[in-house]
Structure 1
């Protein structure tokens, strides 16, 4: 089932349950997806594009969470934690460190990378394989570790 269809289904359930927080987050995510479709001049996004939007929304909230924690805004921290949980429910299951390490090593062998100079080549081949399943910073750290 496409992510948009799942969002629509969950939006109806949130309306019936009068769950304002979930409803609000789902509406924000749907709006972001619609904006992305308009930007790309498409009627509907592919699943990969939907994942890109979800990952972007998740990253924005995690960045904001860090800022609010530093500022001591506990009221906003708890709200953002709830939003992050709701969005993560639509993301594919994250890869374990072992699985990610295996994919990184295979990709390094595929592109025949020798040193950190080949980092860009490795990352460009690797990111489409792990899109939505691992954060870019985690991937970057593993690639650097395996190239040194």
Structure 2
């Protein structure tokens, strides 16, 4: 079953179960998928494209959570945290810090990277090899520290 079909199925189940947070999250996600399909003039999206949309929604939720926390709006931060939990179900398991470090070391060795000029190549290799499993900010920090 494609990821898009799984989201549709989960939306219907959540709606019937009256799970308001999950319904809201999946409704936003379904809208994003539909908008992307209209932009691309396509009948459906690949799982990679849907995964990219989910990752974008997760990033937005994390940013909102951080902003609300800094502003002292714990009520809104709590809502974002709940929505984030619902969205992360659809993402692949994130790499642990050790796995991420090993992946970066491997990419640096494979590419023969030795300076900050090679950072883009290393980042592209790591993010491409572990699509959806790596936090770009965390990876960027590690790559910078290793190439500096």
Q: TM-score range by the shorter chain?
A: over 0.9
Deviation, 1:37, is: 2.3
CA distance in 2, matches of 1:53, 1:39: 13
1:60 is aligned to 60
Deviations 1:61-91 (A, max 9, x none): 1111111111111221111111000001111
The worse-fitting range, judged by mean Cα deviation, of 68-77 and 34-43 is 34-43
Deviation, 1:104, is: 1.0
Q: Confirm whether residue 126 of structure 1 aligns to residue 90 of structure 2.
A: no
Deviations 1:31-86 (A, max 9, x none): 11221222223222212111111110000111111111111112211111110000
Q: Normalising by structure 2, what TM-score?
A: 0.93
2:47 is aligned to 47
CA distance in 1, matches of 2:9, 2:72: 36
Q: Confirm whether residue 94 of structure 1 aligns to residue 94 of structure 2.
A: yes
Q: Confirm whether residue 139 of structure 1 aligns to residue 121 of structure 2.
A: no
Work out whether residues 37 and 45 of structure 1, in 8 Å CA contact, stay in contact via their aligned partners in 2.
Answer: yes
CA distance in 1, matches of 2:144, 2:77: 32
Q: Normalising by structure 1, what TM-score?
A: 0.93
1:35 is aligned to 35
In structure 1, list runs of 5 or more residues that go unmatched. none
- Give aligned pairs, total: 148
CA distance in 2, matches of 1:86, 1:27: 12
In structure 2, list runs of 5 or more residues that go unmatched. none
